[in-house]
Amino acid sequence: MASPPVASALQAIEAAPAGDKPSRYSALLQEIIASSKNATADLNAYAQTLLDDSLGIVVLRPLLAAFVDAFKTIQHPDVKIDVGEKVTSLLQSKGAGQYEEQDTQIKVTVADAYESIEDWRKSAQTLATINLESTQKSVTPDEKARVWIRIVGCYLEEEDPTSAFTHLNKIKNIIFSVQDKETRLRFNLSQARIYDSQRAFLDAAQAYYTLSNEPLVDVDERDDALASALVCAVLAPAGPLRGRMLAKLYKDERASSLDHYGILEKMFLDRLLSPAEIKAFAATLKPHHLAKTSDGSTVLDKAVLEHNLLGASKLYNNIGFDQLGELLGVDAERAEDYAAKMLEQGRLSGHIDQIDRLIFFEGEASGERKTGHAERQVGKELRKWDTNVAGLAEEVEKVTTMIQLEYPEFYAAQVVH
């Protein structure tokens, strides 16, 4: 309930002549902002009376704009949240379409207040209610992307990559039309963080590494991106693709200054990692990097085990299940299971003799999925053909993307027709 002086003033304004109302509303608003001891109740009552009054849109819009400007100056986040949500509700019932600009500004300010108290989900939900398909004015791709990328950031702070990914996909549809470089950089960073959160570590490593080479990014942020690329490369599934990412990082002259350069070097050179090194590395990881997988091991455990298995393939022509398990620090059955999966996925080259309980290693892996030892001997030409077709398709996709980047209007016209 509004304080008695404000309630009395509002009653007096309602009874005043229409010509006097704008100046009296403005004066009361300034008084509330300057001296009210119960700003929430007073501002809510003011907004209720203002929007219930029979003022025309020509008179009401500047009064509402002045209210929004005063509302932004409020320091206490709880007051902003309570008043902002009340006013947006009132606008909705009155028909927010006539006051979209004020509605948007209030929601952005309320989202700021939620972020100041680290309620990221509420901030994202508030921003999501902003009308970005306005019929009153043209909303540019930059304006849409700015709101969506902020929502993505909030959900990432909340560690909800699924909701973040939903809004990131909205940006993907317009990113080629976004001109603001900061927004595009935030998009790339968000994409890297989502890949990271979803444990798509190879994609995350590449995205972070690209950011680490972006001259528009601050030096410290580039270093952080490079460090994140290293972590994700270490956690990525062992195999030729990860090997190429490790090589890229190892050959980067900046990498030698990173905390975990020693692990990067050992992995690049296919050397086995010691328990002490793994423990020190684990202490710096984020919770999702240490999450449990389906077999009960952590993401890091799996990555290290696969790396050491790949390292063993460089040391031995063949090895027994029991000896491999001892080398990897797991039982023989688990060692065989990991080797079988890596062989089948083309991340390890060789075959398994289950009768003699031996694993035979055969040079470098191709990265192509396999269904068994016989496939290495049969259908080589067909697989080569498939590889060539896939390569051609990738090149066509690259050309299409280049056309889309350079001539977005032409590309859009071709897609529509």
**Cβ of 156: how many Cβ atoms within 10 Å?**
22
Q: Which domain holds residue 103?
A: 1-119
Tell me which of 96, 119, 142 is where a domain ends.
119
- The answer on pLDDT for 214 being more than 70 is yes
Q: What are the pLDDT digits (tens) for 295-318?
A: 777 888 888 888 888 878 887 788
Strand partners, 353: 358
Q: What are the pLDDT digits (tens) for 223-233?
A: 999 999 999 99
Residue 63 is encoded by which pair of tokens?
């009064």
Strand partners, 318: 360
Same domain, 400 and 338: no
Distance CA(115)–CA(80), nearest Å, equals 12
Distance CA(194)–CA(201), nearest Å, equals 10
φ, ψ at 285 (rounded to 5°):
-85, 160
Distance CA(357)–CA(362), nearest Å, equals 17
Same domain, 410 and 308: no
Distance CA(297)–CA(290), nearest Å, equals 9
Residues recorded for the chain: 417
Q: What is the pLDDT of residue 375?
A: 45
Residue 357 is encoded by which pair of tokens?
């309980």
Q: Is residue 285 part of a domain?
A: no
Q: What are the pLDDT digits (tens) for 240-282?
A: 888 899 999 999 999 999 888 888 998 888 887 778 888 888 8
Same domain, 300 and 387: no
**What amino acid occupies position 141?**
P
Q: Is residue 184 part of a domain?
A: no
Same domain, 368 and 399: no
DSSP state of 138: P
Q: What is the pLDDT of residue 415?
A: 64
Q: What is the pLDDT of residue 249?
A: 93
| 8 Å CB contact between 252 and 226 | yes
Q: What is the pLDDT of residue 113?
A: 95
For the chain, helix (H) and strand (E) counts, in that order, are 20, 3
Provide the domain count of the chain: 3
Return the CATH number at 297: 1.10.10.10
Same domain, 108 and 44: yes
More confident residue, 143 or 345: 143
Q: What are the pLDDT digits (tens) for 95-133?
A: 656 788 889 999 999 999 999 999 999 999 999 999 888
The DSSP secondary structure of 102-119, one letter per residue, reads HHHHHHHHHHHHHHHTT-
Same domain, 45 and 89: yes
Same domain, 295 and 325: yes
Q: Is residue 72 part of a domain?
A: yes
Q: What is the pLDDT of residue 370?
A: 54
Q: What is the pLDDT of residue 206?
A: 93
Look at the alpha carbons of 149, 155, 157, 160 in this order and tell me if their dihedral is positive or negative: negative
| Rounded mean pLDDT, 180-187 | 90
Mean pLDDT of the chain: 85
Strands (E), 88-181: none
Strand partners, 361: 350
For residue 164, name the pLDDT band (cuts at 50, 70, 90): very high
- The answer on pLDDT for 199 being more than 90 is no
Same domain, 23 and 105: yes
Strand partners, 358: 320, 353
Same domain, 27 and 67: yes
For residue 384, name the pLDDT band (cuts at 50, 70, 90): low
Same domain, 358 and 384: no
Q: What are the pLDDT digits (tens) for 315-340?
A: 778 888 888 888 877 888 888 888 88
Q: Is the pTM of this model over 0.75?
A: no
Cβ neighbors of 79 (< 8 A, separation 6 or more) are: 39, 40, 43
Distance CA(49)–CA(346), nearest Å, equals 71
Residue 239 is encoded by which pair of tokens?
């195999």
More confident residue, 47 or 367: 47
Tell me which of 91, 119, 147 is where a domain ends.
119
Q: Is residue 202 part of a domain?
A: no
Q: Is residue 147 part of a domain?
A: no
Same domain, 393 and 321: no
Placement of tokens 């809004």 in the chain: 167
Q: Is residue 164 part of a domain?
A: no
φ, ψ at 296 (rounded to 5°):
90, -10
Q: Is residue 360 part of a domain?
A: yes
What share of the chain has pLDDT > 70, as a percent?
Answer: 92
Distance CA(365)–CA(359), nearest Å, equals 14
* Spacing of C-alpha 32 from chain mean position: 41
Q: Is residue 350 part of a domain?
A: yes
- Which residue from 12, 99, 104, 32 is spatially nearest to 64, judged by alpha carbons? 99
Residue 317 is encoded by which pair of tokens?
């022509």
- The answer on pLDDT for 5 being more than 90 is no
Element spanning 245, H or E: helix 240-250
Same domain, 354 and 333: yes
